[in-house]
Structure 1
Amino acid sequence: MRKKQPLATYFHVHLVSDSTGETLNAMLKATASQFNAAKPLEHIYALIRSRAQMERALAEIEASPGLVLYTVINPELRRLLEIRCSELQTPAISVLDPLRHAFTDYLGLEQTMKTGAQYQLDDAYFKRIAALDYTLAHDDGQMVWDLEPADVVVVGVSRTSKTPTCMYLANRGIKAANIPLVPTSPPPEELFALRKPMVVGLVASPERLTQIRKSRLGGLNAEAAVEDYSDLDAIRKEVLAAKRLYTKHRWPTIDVTRKSVEETAAAILTKLSARQNR
């Protein structure tokens, strides 16, 4: 007899931030993912920097009671939020306080108490924008004569998530180009002459690639002329050839069969960090 799935538990979560709210959103998703039956109903209040804005957020919290997660620097607004949530008997958690206190104790330095400090238009911001520009211009084998400035060059057969992985890396300030491995033509010679970038090979199981490619072809209403694209035996040969190429050139390899784009990017960042530290 099949085990009954528990009914979903819907609950309100209020994310109150004096910045963009991205940190709160990421922490909520990471935590809620550990509770299969939990379905948070998100209420986002971003750029809360005045008493009037906080009052409006509190009115909505009162109307739909639930967990309150917040990142608010201004002491007056924090106090207002904490007192009202206490009166409403609603849990209110300042998610960054433990980290900030740990940093203060360890470093012996005072906090700047600056709102949205991670989003300043500084060198890191412009580096990230430059990385996004570079990655867009070097997607899917474009501009192979200009790969040397890259931090990472991602190589792989079709549907191994090269483009989304590179875009995720670019958003972290990493210049990432990607080169597709096509059975009908060899990789560009420029790839084998690189010195500065780290070349990373992506692989996936042929069975998984077959599923993805068939789904892709169905969405495009493609004709039978591209049958080899989703043929299992043909894909096995592609993957084997890719693995041999990576081994020959001693490129680090990541199997993306059961990895999300975020996990693949994290694995690349780990390898890149180790390489830079060496």
Structure 2
Amino acid sequence: MTKFTLFIVSDSVGETAGLVTKAAASQFRHDLETVSIKRFSYIEENSQLEEIVFLAKQQQALIVFTLVKSQMRKQLHLLCEELKVPAVDLLGPLIDKMGDRLKQVPFEEPGLVRKLDDDYFKKIEAIEFAVRYDDGRDTRGILEADIVLIGVSRTSKTPLSQFLANKGFKVANVPLVPEVDPPSELFSIDPAKCFGLCISVEQLNSIRKSRLETLGLNDDANYATIARIQQEIDYFNRITTRVGCNVIDVTNRAVEETANTILKAFSARKAN
């Protein structure tokens, strides 16, 4: 059985080259026995390349590499030609073609794809968190959240939570109802991460009437009356005073505007 050694060389972890080489090796019988894979990660110096190529020559290895810096790729090509070591450049040709098509110069910064992946999974985790802890379903989320939103019904807590989650922030939101005591967790967190959403009585009255009509109900229900709304807002004011949190007036404001206000306050808190 023919066996050979394969060197994976990368200026990052080398996951991309590892997946591609395993996919290629899987096309041959007994690939795990046939191919011995050695990984060389975080290669940043020409001297490291010299040692790897020399070792590859001794072991008659095939080099597969993902190097984002053009200078490093050129150096490895030269070394491999000089010692007659076979090599496959997985990224270089594609980067060059894309640069020509986009008319842009590549960043040549190792590990960017891993950073993008981390950001993506962080966003997915935040979105799942916002769904899990929406509308006060589980008060444990208050303690784990980056941002906590509180407010009476129909103050855009849920869409705001989802918007912030898409920015990678874990958000829990809690409805405030006079007949229900607020969760105790609300008074044990850092007030700076909690934001109360207030709204004018008139706009909330209009929003709730529209909501009732959408549901096919009479718009004169207690839920939408001025007296009930004023009662809820008074209760909201008492709770936000106890919590000591920031209060944002969302009257006639888009979700994006409110989110930007929260993110600025959040950033300022982290900077201090």
- TM range, smaller chain: 0.5 to 0.7
In the alignment, what sits opposite 1:120? 116
Q: Unmatched 5+ residue regions in structure 2?
A: 1-96
Larger relative helix fraction: 2
In the alignment, residue 170 of structure 2 is paired with which amino acid?
K
| Match among 219, 222, 237 for residue 214 of structure 2 | 219
Inter-CA distance 77–149: structure 2 relative to 1 (3 Å threshold):
same
| Match among 74, 80, 85 for residue 98 of structure 2 | 74
Q: Is the Cα contact below 8 Å between 2:147 and 2:172 reproduced in 1?
A: yes
Q: Is the Cα contact below 8 Å between 1:148 and 1:195 reproduced in 2?
A: no
Q: Which structure 2 residues correspond to residues 40-55 of structure 1 after superposition, within 5 A?
A: none
Query: How many angstroms does 1:247 deviate by?
Result: 2.1
CA–CA separation in structure 2 for the residues paired with 1:209 and 1:118: 45
| Match among 135, 138, 151 for residue 130 of structure 2 | 135
Q: Unmatched 5+ residue regions in structure 1?
A: 1-72, 80-96, 98-103, 105-109
In the alignment, what sits opposite 1:162? 157
Q: Is the Cα contact below 8 Å between 2:141 and 2:172 reproduced in 1?
A: no
In the alignment, residue 255 of structure 1 is paired with which amino acid?
D
In the alignment, what sits opposite 1:153? 148
Inter-CA distance 163–112: structure 2 relative to 1 (3 Å threshold):
same
In the alignment, what sits opposite 1:55? none
Q: Which has the larger radius of gyration?
A: 2
Inter-CA distance 78–134: structure 2 relative to 1 (3 Å threshold):
closer
In the alignment, residue 245 of structure 2 is paired with which amino acid?
W
Q: Is the Cα contact below 8 Å between 1:214 and 1:230 reproduced in 2?
A: yes
Query: How many angstroms does 1:154 deviate by?
Result: 0.2
In the alignment, what sits opposite 1:46? none
Q: Is the Cα contact below 8 Å between 1:256 and 1:264 reproduced in 2?
A: yes
Pairing 1:175–2:170 present: yes
CA–CA separation in structure 1 for the residues paired with 2:206 and 2:242: 28
Query: How many angstroms does 1:256 deviate by?
Result: 0.3
Query: How many angstroms does 1:180 deviate by?
Result: 0.3
In the alignment, what sits opposite 2:266? 272
In the alignment, what sits opposite 1:199? 194
TM-score (norm 1): 0.57
In the alignment, residue 157 of structure 1 is paired with which amino acid?
V
Deviation by residue 1:48-81 (Cα, 9 ceiling, x = unmatched): xxxxxxxxxxxxxxxxxxxxxxxxx9343246xx
Deviation by residue 1:92-131 (Cα, 9 ceiling, x = unmatched): xxxxx8xxxxxx9xxxxx73399x9699323x22111111
Query: How many angstroms does 1:191 deviate by?
Result: 1.5
Inter-CA distance 168–144: structure 2 relative to 1 (3 Å threshold):
same
Deviation by residue 1:148-195 (Cα, 9 ceiling, x = unmatched): 111011000011000000000001110000000112212122221224
In the alignment, residue 228 of structure 1 is paired with which amino acid?
N
CA–CA separation in structure 2 for the residues paired with 1:148 and 1:197: 13
Q: Which structure 2 residues correspond to residues 11-50 of structure 1 after superposition, within 5 A?
A: none
In the alignment, residue 136 of structure 2 is paired with which amino acid?
G
Pairing 1:251–2:245 present: yes
TM-score (norm 2): 0.58
In the alignment, residue 243 of structure 2 is paired with which amino acid?
H
In the alignment, what sits opposite 1:241? 235
